[in-house]
Structure 1
Amino acid sequence: MSGLMFNMICDPSQGGKSNKSKGNEKHERFLGRRRFLEQKGFLKDKQNKKRNEKNNKKKRKKQRHTQINGGDPSKPGAIFPQFTTTLHVRMNEPSCSTQTLSQKPSSSVSSTACTSPGKQTHRVAPRTVGPLKYLAMDCEMVGTGLKGSISELARCSIVSYNGDVIYDKFIKPINLVTDFRTRWSGVRKQDLRNATPFSQAQKEIVKIMTGKVIVGHAIQNDFKALKYFHPACQTRDTSRIPLLNHKAGLPVHEVASLKRLTKALFNKDIQTGKGGHSSVEDAKATMELYKVVEEEWEQTLASQPVC
Structure 2
Amino acid sequence: MSQIMINAVCKPSKQERAKKSKGNYKHERFQRRRQFLQSKGFLKDKQNQWKKKKNKNNKYNGNYKAKPSAVFSQFTCNLPSTSIELTQKPTSSLPSFASSSQSDQTQRPVPGSYKYVALDCEMVGSGPKGCQSELGRCSVVSYDGDVIYDKFIKPCNPVTDFRTRWSGIKYKDLVNATPFNVARKEILKILAGKVVVGHAIRNDFKVLMYFHPREQTRDTSEIPLLNKKGGFPENQNISLKKLTKTILNKDIQKGKCGHSSVEDARATMELYKVVESDWEQTLASQTVGQSNEK
TM-score above 0.5, yes or no: yes
Give the Cα separation in 1 of the matches to 2:159 and 2:104. 37
Is the aligned partner of 1:250 residue 2:232? yes
Is the aligned partner of 1:156 residue 2:142? no
Give the Cα separation in 2 of the matches to 1:137 and 1:125. 19
5+ residue gaps, structure 1:
1-109, 114-122
Aligned to 2:242: 260
Aligned to 1:167: 149
The higher relative CO (CA closer than 8 Å, separation ≥ 6) is in 1
- TM-score, normalised with respect to structure 2: 0.61
Pairing of 1:138-217 with structure 2 (within 5 A)? 138-217=120-199
Give the Cα separation in 1 of the matches to 2:122 and 2:252. 15
Alpha carbons 1:111, 1:231 under 8 Å: kept: no
Alpha carbons 1:217, 1:239 under 8 Å: kept: yes
Is the aligned partner of 1:124 residue 2:97? no
Aligned to 1:53: none
Is the aligned partner of 1:295 residue 2:277? yes
Amino acid corresponding to residue 262 of structure 1 in structure 2:
T
Aligned to 2:260: 278
Give the Cα separation in 2 of the matches to 1:201 and 1:269. 30
Structure-2 change in CA distance of 1:125 and 1:221 (3 Å): closer
User: Alignment identity in percent?
Assistant: 69
> Which residue of the other structure, out of 193, 201, 225, is the alignment partner of 1:219?
201
Alpha carbons 2:118, 2:269 under 8 Å: kept: yes
Alpha carbons 2:227, 2:233 under 8 Å: kept: yes
- Give the deviation of 1:163 after TM superposition: 0.3
Give the Cα separation in 2 of the matches to 1:133 and 1:230. 14
Structure-2 change in CA distance of 1:284 and 1:111 (3 Å): farther
Is the aligned partner of 1:238 residue 2:220? yes
Alpha carbons 1:111, 1:234 under 8 Å: kept: no
- TM-score, normalised with respect to structure 1: 0.59
Pairing of 1:21-60 with structure 2 (within 5 A)? none
Give the Cα separation in 1 of the matches to 2:119 and 2:109. 23
Give the Cα separation in 2 of the matches to 1:192 and 1:182. 12
Alpha carbons 2:248, 2:271 under 8 Å: kept: no
Alpha carbons 1:156, 1:169 under 8 Å: kept: yes
Aligned to 1:87: none
- Give the deviation of 1:294 after TM superposition: 0.3
Pairing of 1:77-92 with structure 2 (within 5 A)? none
- Give the deviation of 1:250 after TM superposition: 1.1
Give the Cα separation in 1 of the matches to 2:208 and 2:235. 27
Structure-2 change in CA distance of 1:148 and 1:301 (3 Å): same
Pairing of 1:56-135 with structure 2 (within 5 A)? 112=105, 123-125=107-109, 131-135=113-117
Residue by residue over 1:91-118, the C-alpha shift from the partner in whole angstroms, topping out at 9 and shown as x without a partner, is xxxxxxxxxxxxxxxxxxx9945xxxxx
Q: Over aligned residues, Cα RMSD in angstroms?
A: 1.7
Give the Cα separation in 2 of the matches to 1:189 and 1:215. 29
Larger Rg: 2
- Give the deviation of 1:266 after TM superposition: 1.4
Alpha carbons 2:110, 2:280 under 8 Å: kept: no
Give the Cα separation in 2 of the matches to 1:160 and 1:248. 24
- Superposed structure 1 runs of 4+ greater than 2 Å apart: 110-113
Structure-2 change in CA distance of 1:111 and 1:235 (3 Å): farther
Amino acid corresponding to residue 258 of structure 1 in structure 2:
L
Residue by residue over 1:164-188, the C-alpha shift from the partner in whole angstroms, topping out at 9 and shown as x without a partner, is 0000000000100000000000000
Amino acid corresponding to residue 237 of structure 1 in structure 2:
D
Alpha carbons 2:200, 2:221 under 8 Å: kept: yes
Alpha carbons 1:111, 1:233 under 8 Å: kept: no
- Give the deviation of 1:131 after TM superposition: 2.0
Give the Cα separation in 1 of the matches to 2:104 and 2:145. 24
